[in-house]
Amino acid sequence: MPACDPNAETPRPPKLLERMRIHLRTRHYSIRTEEAYIDWARRFILFHGKRHPRDMGAVEVEAFLSHLAVERHVSASTQNQAKAALLYLYKQVLEIDLPWLNEVVQAKRPKRLPVVLTPTEVRELLLHMDGTTCLIAQLLYGTGMRLLEALRLRVKDVEFARREIVVREGKGNKDRVTVLPENLMAPLQAQLQKARLLHEKDLAAGLGRVYLPHALAAKYPQADQSWAWQWVFPSPVRAVDPRPDARTGELLERRHHVYPESVQRAVRDAARRAGITKPVSPHVLRHSFATHLLQAGYDIRTVQELLGHADVSTTMIYTHVLNKGGRGILSPLDAL
């Protein structure tokens, strides 16, 4: 048996943040959650002078979260995300249970009504858009999908014959079915033709492997090259996927879907050109979808299922628009 080389370097164990990244990936967390949790862990370490989290505990976590609320004035959802990231770091990665964080200054979650466009404003907004981003905006308003749900849409989940779209792994990791508008049948079929040409071009170049969730690429070796699994809205450019391939462990060049920022910017610019003074984002189109369905007389339970809300109380926020004026009353000034 050959003697061990004394000069050979022993592999170093991965650093903490890399361990956290591996832990998140093995549990199939999304790439966005992975990036957010890693970023919050990094900020926490830098906030406490680069001390190792193992040498800190609940007191330091409370101090960091209170700093976010008091000095940084972050929203309640942002603070809750930071808290979830740090609790994951301690409980799952370091295997340290923190006591209940009683002293955290909680950022107040404001109760605000959603921004809703009128049908005329939606029409003007869409008239000032074109290309793929316009089709995505139409899809958001026509189906009630969230932006990432639309961008992550796969070819196999568009049911033209049944006029429905299957939303996979929506918020809360739940699947649901929503309507496919008649007016989008032809534009979506044209979009799929463009996407297929891109896919065939990638296959000819020895590429064309799309990212599959939950190690499906290892279970079905050819599925990631099949047309059914491709994105409906592929990016015009290819990029190296930061997640290693499930079979080989290599970093592959893939064609991702359209970036969310591209759609957000296009919607914002279109609202400005259309002269809409309300703050408009792609999510406003989802709010408008729900509100306009309720105004048309559809049952709130139906709207709840289309939106994928776990509780009908979440959907009820859209009923505020069903009252004309301030809660439907007649102002005494109008009675004079």
Catalytic residue among 37, 90, 141, 318: 318
Check if 29 is active-site: no
Instruction: Please write the tens of the pLDDT for every residue from 37-46.
Output: 999 999 999 9
List C-alpha distances in Å: 158 to 95, 154, 167, 208, 213.
42, 7, 9, 20, 18
Residue 17 has pLDDT above 60, yes or no: yes
Closest CA to 61 of 29, 33, 89: 89
Of the candidate CATH numbers 3.40.50.1000, 1.10.10.10, 1.10.150.130, 1.20.1270.360, the domain formed by 16-93 belongs to 1.10.150.130
Alpha-carbon gap, residue 34 to 242, rounded angstroms: 11
Residue 109 has pLDDT above 60, yes or no: yes
Q: Do 16-93 and 111-328 fold alike per CATH?
A: no
**Would you state the pLDDT for residue 236?**
92
Instruction: Please write the tens of the pLDDT for every residue from 147-165.
Output: 999 999 999 999 999 999 9
Check if 174 is active-site: no
**Would you state the pLDDT for residue 48?**
95
Cβ-based burial of 80 (10 A; exposed 0-12, middle 13-18, buried ≥19): middle
Check if 318 is active-site: yes
Instruction: Please write the tens of the pLDDT for every residue from 205-229.
Output: 989 888 887 667 667 778 889 999 9
pTM of the model: 0.81
Check if 283 is active-site: yes
Check if 211 is active-site: no
- Once rounded to an integer, what is the mean pLDDT over residues 92-105? 80
Among 50-54, 108-112, 247-251, the range of highest mean pLDDT:
50-54
The domains of the chain are located at 16-93, 111-328
Check if 256 is active-site: no
Rounded percentage of the chain residues whose pLDDT exceeds 90: 59
Catalytic residue among 21, 83, 146, 257: 146
Catalytic residue among 255, 286, 287, 292: 286
Catalytic residue among 171, 196, 238, 256: 171
Classify domain 111-328 at the CATH superfamily level: Intergrase catalytic core (1.10.443.10)
Residue 1 has pLDDT above 50, yes or no: no
